[in-house]
Amino acid sequence: MSAVAYREAAGGGLWSRMSLGQKQVLWAWSFLAVPLVFYVVIRFWPTFQAFYLSVTDWTITKPASFVGLENYGRLIEDSLFWQVFRNTFLYLILGTPISLLISFVVAYYLDRVRFMHSFIRALYFLPFLTTAAAMAWVWRWFYQPVPIGVINDLLSSFGIPQQPFLRSTSQALPAVLAPAVWAGLGFQIIIFLAGLRAIPVTYYEAARIDGLPEGAILRKITLPLLKPTLVFLVVFSSIGFLRIFDQVYNINTNDPGGPLNSTKPLVLMIYQTAFSSYEMGYAAAQTVVLFLILLVISLVQLRLMRDR
């Protein structure tokens, strides 16, 4: 009893002797304590571990031992890696410009529409809320030959010959990309709309008073002022297309990434190396390559943002 009272008095004494600033510091660190443990254990430690694993020959059955840069050497000589590298960049350089062009055009005109504005916006936005794994199956069904496939059915009603889509090495990649572009448009349109609305109306009024035609207003006012939005969306969607996985994996479950690896992106190669071949060390080296690609893109973004 007296011991408790003594401890309370001492504790209270220490607390009451602390300055407001010292108390604040104590509060701050007690708020940060659990999150800091989380970030160290679940983010930083695994990051170092991933780098370490990439220089080992760890497999599920064998404990990791150091092999230097062997995994990276193997990667450079692996023809599948270069095929996958090419596919990943195809997703990026087709997906990003196409989706941004469509979403900008839609947002630009939708911004001026008052009649049923939020209904039309909702139509474009809904696909963004879907599950990519589920939608890959819907699109897979669309790409089937007649009489099941909706797209081939439509083509044949116009007298256009049947297309192989997912069965062709040249058509499969764009066919897998389409649902990814489709699902991302809604987000990009919303962000563009927000960016367009942030441009002060006075700029437009001034331009109209000066008699600038619409095209010139678009080039001289809208696009330059939209640059931060544009940079954000370019980076955001580039990262998305570089990390594409759910759609590719589900659209061809018999041979994920097929036919003949023509749709296989880097993340799918990582998944198969790690969880089908169980070559964890080799897979870790591939994740480091993905990290480096994303790092370059982030640095380019920082550079572009500073230039404005």
Partner 1 sequence: MKAAASSPSLAMPNIRPGRILAWTLLFIGGVIMVTPLLFMISTSLKDASQVYDLRVIPEAPTLDNYIEILGDGRFTRWLINSAIIAVIVTLSNVFFDSLVGYTLAKFRFRGRYIVFIAILSTLMIPTEMLVLPWYLMASQFGWIDSYWGIMFPGMMTAFGTFLMKQFFEGVPDDFLEAARIDGLNEFTIWWKIAMPLVTPALSALAIFTFLGNWTAFFWPLIVTTSAELYTLPVGLSSFAVEQSIQWEKIMTGASIATLPTLIIFLFLQRYIVRGVMLAGLKG
- Residues of this chain, 119-148, that bind partner 1 according to CB under 8 A: 120-127, 129-135, 137-139, 141-142, 147-148
CA triple 123-124-127, angle to 5 deg: 90
**Which CB sits closer to partner 1, 95 or 246?**
246
Q: Which of 245, 258, 259, 304 binds partner 1 (CB under 8 A)?
A: 245
The C-alpha atoms of residue 227 and residue 238 are separated, in whole angstroms, by 16
Cβ–Cβ < 8 Å for 189, 121: yes
**Stretch of residues binding partner 1 (CB under 8 A), selected from 77-85, 91-99, 158-166, 186-194:** 186-194
Residues 77-110 as b/e (b if ≥16 CB within 10 A, e otherwise) read ebeebebbbebbebbbeebbeebbebbbebbbeb
Residue 182, amino acid: W
Q: In which element (H, E) is residue 262 found? A: none
Which residues ranging from 69 to 88 are in contact with partner 1 (CB under 8 A)? none
Q: Which of 80, 90, 94, 290 binds partner 1 (CB under 8 A)?
A: 290
**Which CB sits closer to partner 1, 134 or 223?**
134
State phi, psi for 28 to the nearest 5 degrees.
Answer: -55, -50
Minimum Å gap between C-beta 237 and partner 1 is 12
Which residues ranging from 250 to 289 are in contact with partner 1 (CB under 8 A)? 250, 253, 267, 270-271, 274-275, 280, 283-284, 287-288
**Which CB sits closer to partner 1, 114 or 308?**
114
Site string for partner 1, 15-54 (x = CB under 8 A): ------x--xx-xxx-xx-xxx-xx--xxxxxx-xx--x-
CA triple 124-130-136, angle to 5 deg: 105
**162 binds partner 1, rule: CB under 8 A:** no
The C-alpha atoms of residue 232 and residue 287 are separated, in whole angstroms, by 24
Site string for partner 1, 222-241 (x = CB under 8 A): -------x--x---------
Residue 258's alpha-carbon distances to 169, 182, 183, in angstroms, are 8, 21, 22
**Which CB sits closer to partner 1, 49 or 277?**
49
For 138, other C-beta atoms within 10 Å of its C-beta total 13
Residue 87, amino acid: N
Minimum Å gap between C-beta 244 and partner 1 is 11
**Which CB sits closer to partner 1, 188 or 262?**
188
Which residues ranging from 194 to 213 are in contact with partner 1 (CB under 8 A)? 194-195, 198, 208-209, 211
The C-alpha atoms of residue 152 and residue 160 are separated, in whole angstroms, by 9
Residue 226, amino acid: L
Minimum Å gap between C-beta 190 and partner 1 is 5
Which residues ranging from 92 to 121 are in contact with partner 1 (CB under 8 A)? 106, 109-110, 112-116, 118, 120-121
